[in-house]
Amino acid sequence: MGRDKTSRRPEKPRPDLQEIVEVLAAASLRGSLREAERALLKRFLQREPRPRPGRPSPLDERFCPVCMLHLGESRPEVCPGCGVVLEVAWAERRRLLRRRKSVEP
């Protein structure tokens, strides 16, 4: 039984400006401004989902076309992540993309 995509968990609300001002004002009266900053940052980070890195372009040769490992500037002949020969994998990827473009209207 699959999950209904419309019933996702609601996003956690961001701390509003009033909440931030109140916590900082109370902390400054106590003289522990640094602790208040840490508490606010911790609270804010718990509420915010981490951003997902975007997928690289299908023709970006800085990434392995099979496992999407970042290859860096060295451009090895064989991917250190999955062991595929990169020249062959890139030729296959280009051929598949050309075929896909010719099929789509």
Does residue 72 register a pLDDT over 60? yes
Q: What is the mean pLDDT of residues 1-30?
A: 67
CA dist., res. 43 & res. 21, Å (int): 14
Domain assignments of the chain as residue spans, ordered by start: 17-47, 54-105
Does residue 13 register a pLDDT over 70? no
**Is residue 76 classed exposed, middle or buried when 0-12, 13-18 and 19+ CB atoms within 10 A define those classes?**
exposed
In single-letter form, the type of residue at position 14 comes to: R
CA dist., res. 99 & res. 69, Å (int): 24
Contact 58, 93 (CB under 8 A): yes
Phi, psi torsion values for 102, nearest 5 degrees? -75, -25
59 band by pLDDT with thresholds 50, 70 and 90: confident
pLDDT at 91: 92
pTM of the model: 0.45
Does residue 80 register a pLDDT over 80? yes
